[in-house]
Amino acid sequence: MKKLILLSTLTSSLLFGAAEVLPVEKRSFTQSQYMPDISLILDASFVNRNKTDTEVSHLEIPGIAHGLIGSHAHGEHAHATYNANNGFNINYAELVMSSSVDPYFTMDGVFHFSEHGVAIEEAYFTTTSLPQGLRLRAGKFNSNFGRINEQHHHYWDFGEMPLVYDAFLGMHGINEIGVQLQYLAPFSEYLMLGVEVLQGENAQTFGIGAIGDNEDPLIDAADAPGLFVGYIKTAYDIGDTTIMPGISYARGSSRIDHSEDEENPHAFSGMTSLYGADLTVKHYYDSYSFLSWQSEWMMRKMDGRTYAIGTDKSAQTQKNQSGFYSQLVYGMNKNWRMGARYDLIYQNDVEKNSVTVDLPNDFNRYSAMIEYHPSEFSRFRLQYNNNNALYNEEGEQQHVNTLMLQANISIGAHGAHAF
């Protein structure tokens, strides 16, 4: 045996050089050992709605959000939601790069290409060797608030964000520049605690930028960083069933600029708290067949002041708004899945100068889908939505019915998604 070891050592030295047989801790590090995984994902859809593109672009959830469907212009910048237009849509081409940097860090980058431009969706580094179950991430990333927020669009079970997410946080959720620290407890069951300090530039709920003229703004900028997030997540198995509950909390400055609204230009300045609770239960019948139930509840509390643009009027404003979604997805086999989702925003309490504003408070949407996966690199989804959450500028409820065929195709090496 000693002769074999000596022969192996001599052969390695002759073929690869003596450095190859040095102990690991004495070998030099070469980053060329870590070639990044690169993938490209294309998401496209064909949409047929019972409303024109112009009609849906002017619809809103009163007192909560507007611009949830369609293309919109904000100053010199154009913006479109996913599946924005009737007919064909290229939602995005997503370029993903990820790799180990060295023995201490990994790095990931996600870049979105669309007809409206190029955006850095995520770009962050993550530690791999901190002690005591700690992990640090810094850069731009999707927050771990809730269940679906950290997931990319191509991983969602439906073609758009749940209604409560879209209304409170927009189609990208909490996607911010900042730092994240997570702690994995040394228990037999999974328990993770996390905190995040973020810049706070979510246009739907949070924000730090000044509003108005740069030299004499109507609303001054808030201090940065302006958003703080915390959460607790756990998971445990009962036989072939995995149960994953979680609670989340976010609080930050709000600077919401609706100064370009045609009917009612206004702006809001204040502080906002966002509460979340999520539960996912997933049962596997075999390697490919499963039944998954996923739900999330969110409550938004806003306290600040609303300013009527172009006038001297303002009002002390409080908003208490809540909603949830609940979805059921059945994986029949390796290739076919089907599911249904119910969205509801059931609370919409708004007070201005201590006077209750008369607003509707029952916003719902029903969705059903069926998917075909020819392979793990391609997916085709047929989805139907019945959306009763939107109102026109005259305050009349609209019923938006949508039939959508979505294609999601990927090439290259793409890292695994969270369970």
> What pLDDT does 51 receive?
96
151-to-262, 358, 388 alpha-carbon distances in Å = 34, 36, 26
Whether residue 316 is predicted with pLDDT greater than 50 in this model: the reply is yes
Whether residue 47 is predicted with pLDDT greater than 80 in this model: the reply is yes
User: Minimum mean pLDDT among 121-130, 222-231, 409-418: which range?
Assistant: 409-418
The residues, any chain, with a CB within 8 Å of residue 331's CB and separated by 6 or more, are 288, 289, 290, 291, 292, 337
Would you say 331 and 289 are in contact if contact means Cβ atoms under 8 Å apart?
yes
The helix/strand/coil state of 60 is: strand
Locate 110 and state its tokens: 């996600």
Q: How many other β-carbons are positioned within 10 Å of the β-carbon of residue 394?
A: 6
Give this prediction's pTM: 0.89
Strands (E), 311-356: 314-331, 336-352, 355-356
Q: What angle do CA 156, 169, 308 make, to 5 degrees?
A: 150
> What pLDDT does 126 receive?
98
**CB burial string 225-264: b at 16+ within 10 A, e below:** bbbebebebbbeeeeeebebebebebbbbbbbbbeeeeee
Q: Please state, for a pLDDT cut of 90, what percent of the chain lies above it.
A: 80
Q: Beta strand 217-219 with 211-212: parallel, antiparallel or unpaired?
A: antiparallel
The helix/strand/coil state of 54 is: helix
What integer is the mean pLDDT of 97-101? 94
Q: What is the pLDDT of residues 264-304, one digit of tens each?
A: 889 999 999 999 999 999 999 999 999 999 999 999 999 99
User: Minimum mean pLDDT among 22-31, 94-103, 131-140, 374-383: which range?
Assistant: 22-31
Q: What is the pLDDT of residues 382-416, one digit of tens each?
A: 999 999 999 998 999 999 999 999 999 999 987 66
Q: What is the pLDDT of residues 6-27, one digit of tens each?
A: 334 433 333 334 344 444 444 4
Q: What angle do CA 113, 53, 59 make, to 5 degrees?
A: 105
Q: What is the pLDDT of residues 318-329, one digit of tens each?
A: 999 999 999 999
Please state, in angstroms and rounded to a whole number, the distance separating the CA atoms of residues 108 and 152: 13
DSSP letter at 192 equals E
Please state, in angstroms and rounded to a whole number, the distance separating the CA atoms of residues 56 and 71: 9
Between 117 and 299, the higher pLDDT residue: 299
31-to-28, 103, 104, 106 alpha-carbon distances in Å = 10, 10, 12, 12
Q: Report the chain's mean pLDDT, rounded to a whole number.
A: 90
